[in-house]
Structure 1
Amino acid sequence: MEIAQFCARANILVLLLALFCSPCKFIQSPMGLDPLNFHQNTNTASMDFGRIHFSSPSAILRPKSPADISLLLSFLSGSSFSEVTVAARGAGHSIYGQAQALDGIVIEMDAMPSNIEVHRKGEGEVDVSYVDVSGGALWIELLEESLKHGMAPRSWTDYLYLSIGGTLSIGGISGQAFKYGPQISNVLQLDVVTGKGEVVTCSPTKSSELFYSVLGGLGQFGIITSARILLQEAPEKVKWVRAFYDDIQTFTQDQELLISMPNLVDYVEGFIVLNDQSLNSFTTAFPAHLHFAPEFHSEGRSKVYYCIEYAVHDHSSKDIDTDQVVEEVSRQMRNLPSQLYTVEVSYYDFLNRVRMEEMSLRSAGLWEVPHPWLNMFVPKSGISEFIDLLFENISAEEFEGPVLIYPVLRDKWERNTSMVLPDAADDQVVYIVGMLRSTNQDSCPADCLQNLLQTNLRITGAASDAGAKQYIPHHSSPAGWFSHFGRHWNRFAGRKAQFDPIGILAPGQGIFSRRSVSSS
C-alpha cells in the first residue's frame, strides 16, 4: 500500500509540475498515467450561475472517489506549490465566483457516483429514518429516490437542482425553515475531506468541531463527500395557499401568525408584487387561476402589493382535513377581501415548483444571464426599515425578478455551525429577504450591471450597519468578512487554522489568502 501511495503522489507531482510550469497549462502524465482524472477543458469551471465573476482554473479534477480528493489535498498541503488553490463545484449555482479557483484546480463533484441509500426507522437497528447521499448528488435526485420509500427530508431549498454538499456549505433555506430549521440543522453525519487531505466521518458527537465547521462553512474547511440527512414520512399531497395584501405591516404580522402555528402549517414564504412581470413570474408554477387584478399605478405613483404563501401537508396516514385547516387558519388572517386562493398539488410538484419558473425564464432568455442577486437576514425589529431601504434603491416598475420575504425562528438554527444570523438576540424572528434579479445584455449592458451591483452594495452596507447579515455572503475585502462574522470571527478563523491551515480551499470567497507550507 505504501508503494502504491508513493507512486500516486509521484504522478501527482509530475502532473502539477506540467500543469503549473507550462504556459499552455497542459497536463501530461508519463506512460499515459492519469490516476486522478485531471482535465484540461476548464470552460465550465470558469463561470457560475451569477455570471458576474469569471476565474479560469488551470485544471479540473473529476474524482472517482473521496480518495482522489484526499490524495490531491494531502499532497498540496505538504508540498511547495505555494500558490495552488482548490475549489469544489457542485451544480455551479454560485453567484459571485464562490466555486471558482483562479489558476488553481476545481473539483467537479458531480463526477462521483450519486449513491443514495434510504434507511427507515425500525429497519434493523435504525432508530430514526435517514438517508446517506453523496455530496455531489442533487436534491431532486434525493427527493425522487426517497419518495420511493414514502420518505423525504424535512427541510428544503426552493430550487432542487442544487448539490447536497453545495447547500450544506451555505445553509439551505426554504419555507420549511421556520418549522425544522435550515438544511444544516437536519444533518446527522458527514464524510469530509479536510484541507489537509484527511478523510473524516463526523457528527455532533464525533469530530464535532469539524462537523459544525463545515455546515454553513462556505467550503473553507473541507469538502463534503457524503451526508446523512434526517427523513420524515412524506405527504402525498399539499394544500397550497396564496393571500394578497396592500400593507407591509399586515403582511408581516400575518406571516408571523402563520409561523406560530407549526402544528397546522408546514410551509411559509412570501413575496413582494412590484409590477405585472413579477406577478406573472410567481403565477407560473401556481396551477390555479388568480382573479387578482392589482392597480400598480394609482394617483400618479407606483403601488406595491404583497403575497403570503403557505402550505398544509396532506397525509393519508393522518386524520387531517386540509380544507378545514386552511379555513381555520384563514379566519385569523387579514388579507385583502376575497384575495385568497388555494390549490391541491402533489408533494413532488410542490417541492419542484421552481422548475417551471426556470423553464419560463429559459424560454425568455433570462436563465443563462447575469444574476446580481442579494440575500439578507434582517431582524424583525428592522424589517420595515429594510423594505423602505429597498424601495429607495430600486425601481418597482423596472425591476425584473422575484423579491422574496418570509420569517424564520432563530431557535431552529444550530448555533455551533459556521453560519451567522443577525446579532439581535432579542428578536426571535428573523426575516429572509431575497432580491433575485435577472438581467440580459440587451436591456442591461455591462455598465448597467455594474450599477446594479453598486446598488446592492449600498443596500448591504446600510442594512449591515443596522444589524442585518448577508445570506450566501460576498465581501470584497478582509474587513468586510471580519464585520460579517463579527463576534464569531475568531471561531471561524480558528477553524480555518485547524482544518485548512495553508488556505488551499475555496479561494473564490476571498476570505483567506493561500499560505506557504513553511509559513504555516
Structure 2
Amino acid sequence: MQNERWLCLFIVEVQGSTCKVRWLRVVYTEFEEFTRDAEFLVTQEEGESFDYVEGFVFSNSDDPINGWPSVPLDPDHEFNPAYIPQTASSVLYCLEVALHYRNSDRPSTVDTAVSRLLERLGFIQRLKFQLNVSYVEFLLRVKQVEEHAKANGNWDSPHPWLNIFISKSSIVDFDRTVFRKMLKDGVGGPMLIYPLLRSKWDSRTSVVLPEGEIFYIVALLRFVPKGPTVEKLVAQNHEIIKWCNKEGLDFKLYLPHYQSKEDWKRHFGNQWTRFVERKTSFDPMAILAPGQNFFKRTHTIKP
C-alpha cells in the first residue's frame, strides 16, 4: 500500500511538471441550452471534448457567495452583469470545463483547440472566464477552498448538504421549481449540476441510478452557522425530496439515510431482491453498516 501511494504521488508530480490546464467558465441564461451543451460534451469520444466537464447554478444577483461574484476564476476577472439579457430568470447557469495540455505546446495551439470546442456551445460570449494553471494547481483547487474555509471558520460549521441523481427526463421540471423558485437566492455554497453517463458506471455495484443513459447529479453544498438556520435548511431538503416524490420525478438520493425498510425498498426498486441476496451472502450476521436499521444484527461484537 505504501509503495502504491508513493507511485501515485510520483505520477502526479511527473504529470504536474509536464502538463498545464486551460480552465474555463462560461455562463448561460437558458437551462435548456446549458444542459444541451453539457450533454454534448460528455457524450463525445475521448480527445473530442474537454478533459473535465462540470457545472453549477448561481443566483442572478450581486451576492458575493451565491451570485455573480462566485463565477470568475481570478480576482482580476470582472463579471459584468450588463451582458446578462433582460429576459434572464432568477438564476443563471455556469458550465465549467478544462483542457489539459503540455508545457511544450504553443499558446496558439491551445487557443485553437479551445476555440474549436467552444464554437459549438451557446453561452453568453462576453461572459467567458479562463485561466492557465499547472496540472497540480488544478487538482488542488478544492483543497484550496477547504483551506480558505478552515481559515475563516466556515469549515467547522454544519453542512446540511443534499445530493441527488435526477434523470434527464425530470431535470427540466426540477430546475423550473427547485432552482428557480425554492433556491433562487442560493444556498450559501455551490449548487452543482452536471450530466453523467450510466454506461460509465459498473452495473455490478449496488448503487441505484435513475433510468436512461444520461442523468444529472445535483449537489447543494451548504455551509451555515450553528443555530436555527440548520434546522430550517434540513427542513428545506426534506421539502425538496417531498416535492420530487409528489411530482413523480425519476430521482435517487445519493448516500441516503431513510428511516424505514419501505423507504429503502422504494429506493432500490427492482434491485432490492439482489441487494438482500448480496447482504445475506456476504454479511449474513449484519455486522456491516448497522445504521440503516433494516437488517437485524444477529451477532454482538465484543469490545
* Coarse TM-score class (shorter-chain normalised): 0.7 to 0.9
Match of 2:283 in 1: 500
Instruction: Work out the CA distance in 1 between the residues paired with 2:15 and 2:152.
Output: 36
Please list every run of 5 or more consecutive structure 1 residues that lacks an aligned counterpart in the other structure.
1-114, 118-131, 134-140, 152-233
CA distance in 1, matches of 2:38, 2:113: 16
The answer for the alignment partner of 1:293 in structure 2 is 80
State the 1:338 CA deviation. Answer: 1.2
Instruction: Pick from 482, 488, 493 the counterpart of residue 271 of structure 2.
Output: 488
- Which of 189, 195, 199 is the matching residue for 1:411? 199
Pairing 1:130-141 to 2, within 5 Å after superposition: 132=4
Q: Could you tell me whether the CA contact under 8 Å between 1:369 and 1:438 is conserved in 2?
A: yes
Match of 2:11 among 142, 146, 161: 146
TM-score by length of 2: 0.84
Aligned twin of 2:232 = 451
Q: Distance in 2 between matches of 1:462 and 1:397?
A: 19
Displacement of 1:396 in angstroms is 2.7
- The 2-side partners of 1:314 and 1:298 are apart by 34
| Structure 1 counterpart of 2:25 | 242
8 Å contact from structure 2 (residues 187, 220) kept in 1: no
Shift of 1:312: 0.8
Instruction: Supply the distance in 1 between the matched residues of 2:19 and 2:56 (Cα, whole angstroms).
Output: 26
How far apart in 1 are the matches of 2:15 and 2:160? 38
**Gaps (5+ residues) in structure 2?**
none
Match of 1:307 among 51, 69, 94: 94
Q: Distance in 2 between matches of 1:395 and 1:386?
A: 11
- May I ask how many residue pairs the two structures share in their alignment? 290
Distance 1:392 1:330 in 2: 26
CA contact (8 A) 1:372 1:438 kept: yes
By how many angstroms is 1:116 displaced?
A: 3.7
Deviation at 1:292, TM superposition (A): 1.5
Q: Is the 8 A contact 1:503 1:514 kept in 2?
A: yes
The Cα RMSD (Å) is 3.0
- Deviation of the 1:383 alpha carbon: 0.7
Query: How far apart are the structure 2 equivalents of 1:253 and 1:332?
Result: 11
Q: 2:148 aligns with which of 360, 370, 392?
A: 360
Contact preservation (8 Å) 2:197, 2:214: yes
Higher normalized helix content (fraction of residues): 2
Deviation at 1:142, TM superposition (A): 7.6
What amino acid is the match of 1:329?
L
Distance 2:220 2:128 in 1: 24
Q: How does 1:3-152 map to 2 (within 5 A)?
A: 115-117=1-3, 132=4, 144-148=9-13, 150=15
Q: In the superposition, relative to structure 1, how do residues 381 and 515 fare at CA in structure 2: closer, same or farther (>3 Å)?
A: same
The normalised TM-score by structure 1 is: 0.51
The 1:414/1:395 distance shift into structure 2, 3 A limit, reads closer
The CA deviation at 1:476 is 2.0
Q: Distance in 2 between matches of 1:461 and 1:395?
A: 15
Tell me which structure has the larger Cα radius of gyration: 1
Q: What amino acid maps onto 2:81 in structure 1?
A: P
Give per-residue Cα distances to partners, 1:129-160, cap 9 Å, x unaligned: xxx45xxxxxxx88534324549xxxxxxxxx
Asked which structure has the greater RCO (Cα within 8 Å, sep 6+), the reply is 2
1:437 corresponds to 2:222: yes
> CA–CA distance in 2 between the matches of 1:314 and 1:397?
37
CA distance in 2, matches of 1:306, 1:143: 35
